[in-house]
Structure 1
Amino acid sequence: MLVFVSAALPTSTLSLDPAAPIRRAALTTMLLLSVLTAVLTLAFAVTASWSHQDTVGLALLGVWDLGLLLALRLWPGSLRTVGYLFFVVGAVVGVMKFAWSVLAPGQVPYFGPYAYWLPLSYLVAVVVLPPRAALLSSLAVYAAFLAVGGVFAFYSDLPVAVTKGAISGFLQFYLSHAVYLSVYAMLAYLCRQYLRAVIQAEQQAQTAFEDVLTGLPNRRQLNLWLEADLARAQVYGEPFSLVVFDLDHFKQINDSFGHETGDVVLRTTASTVKRALRDDSRFGRWGGEEFVLLLPKTDLEGARRVAQRLDQLLRSESHPRAGVVSASFGVAQATVDDTPSSLFARADAAMYSAKQAGRARVHV
């Protein structure tokens, strides 16, 4: 299943491929197993009556696969190149071995253990190529196998009885490969649909917790954080503070300059504040022109200083059309008896107190 999921999405660039880690894992696994198979088979060949040609060929193939494995390990960005090389060399060697085994002069067609590995080319194509390219490449390999059978049928120098007797082997070979191709194609299609649904669900989930305009966490996400952070602070006896601020005269900005200008002010405010905060702070848009800041391990005085710094920062920035847009800040520190609602209510009340006192200030 891992292999088929890896081919779920077409990729124009590797860096944009969400399935790249799965592709890499699948390709690494196949290369590793190919190397191990070559080693074990060569160890067996010592006591078997293998031809010198087969032994050397398998050894070279094992070394080649080992080189590809090391390249993939040392250069993560080589996934596409390594995959192409693994596919092309494997397919060419497979077709050549098949042709040699069934077209050797005076020799009865031989469908030996090597034939078990020939469908691996289709699997590699599914892993390293986009869906359409994988299908076309696999069909090209299959067509090459068919061509070998056609050459045998029309140009074999074997007795007619022997040639007819080989038909069963060819038939089983081609039918089994047709089944492999069909199953790979169907599974790849199903997994593309599955991965597309997963990605769509993840995008919808992200949208559910993200403010579309500013890219900040939205009210739903802030509520979850507030509940979790407050509970953690109360359990461990740590300070926890909440800052609520609202942009001043924002309705006038929308009325005077239009909602597009208002949207620019909101986005600029979001990015300005976000850049000024420490990593463990949680910042999001509550709704409208109101924003919320969660400050773990911060007492009331520390939260006040943060709010004052943000107040000065916002008043120092002039927007292209709206000019300077200040904000009114409300700050509250959690108590052991607070609930998310009660803590937010106190911070919100402090913010409205700042509004009533003339705006552009911080109240606790």
Structure 2
Amino acid sequence: MNALSGFPPALVRRLVVKIGSALLVDPAGAVRVDWLRTLVADVAVRRAAGQQVIIVSSGAIALGARRLKLPKGGRGSLEDAQAAAATGQIALSQCWASLLDEKGITAAQMLVTLDDLENRRRYLNASATLERLMALNVVPVVNENDSVATAEIRFGDNDRLAARIGQAARADAVVLLSDVDGLYTANPHADAGAMLIETIETIDARIAAMADDGSASGMGSGGMVSKIQAARIATGAGAHLAIISGKVDAPLSHWAGGGKGSIFLAAQGKGARKGWLAGRLTTRGRIIVDAGAEKALTKGNSLLPAGVARVEGVFDRGDVVDIVAQDGRVIARGLIEYDSEAAVKIAGRRSEDIAALLGEMPRSVLVHRDHMAMV
């Protein structure tokens, strides 16, 4: 068994636990209070052992839809989803606060949007808030602010939100409670021969191909694809990520006692700024580079204009762009030193030609290595 199984407090100082809608809310739209109470008991035990816990909780839309009697679980339209979220979030926060209070634990609510964690300043504000709550011995309960989020500015699933919160909180690990007990070689609901993978050291094309993007319940918005995306964010930020079953009582204790699970091992930690870059879910443009530039980037060099084959998108200086290999792989992400119009003009040209092309040469690189993260 992996020594990290159960994410013991002795090895994991700060833990993010994500709970999906299908686990927290029953098909009729009511909170599964008895099950949730067992999870809160798990949290209390871990806190008593010295582990700090942050909860990322879904369920607001499902709860609100029941109270408002909205069709399709509140997801029939954007307006319905926003109204359901606004109504359900009150019930959700009250439930968490009440159950945590039974264990003598103070709860705090944090609602965030995608843009709150993609904007560097707001990301740092969220990070500071989480740090202060941890210092005050409070359990933050985090959810996406679905009452104001739209398709363009939302995570779409709380798996990736949990990974980004883990990054912002400098957590040691993230655990995703799921309707399956880990990553299998195939969909275990459809293939009896599917085998559980207990430890994943590297998320390569083989691992990504095992994902199934279906949500078994139809209530949530994530599948295995979103969980692997979350694992990329978490492990890239230096945190382990586990997928375990939430379909048992006291799921954290069950896992720690020998229950099944899959653990994605943390990569070597990036610096805080580079980790934020690598974990971003939105970018403003794409810089396609040749094989020589790709090789130079893997050695830690800056991106020079000469290695650029093509520029896509409209962006300003300082925006985040993807740096893409010829075969379409995103290999790095960074802050661009020129706007898109200028970048198109100097693409493929030597640095010494920039002044003649633009009338000035304020910078010799397109993306500096200090403002770039490999992904």
Q: Which is greater in Rg?
A: 1
Query: Is the TM-score greater than 0.5?
Result: no
Relative to its length, the structure with more helix (as a share) is 1
TM-score (normalised: structure 1): 0.22
TM-score (normalised: structure 2): 0.21
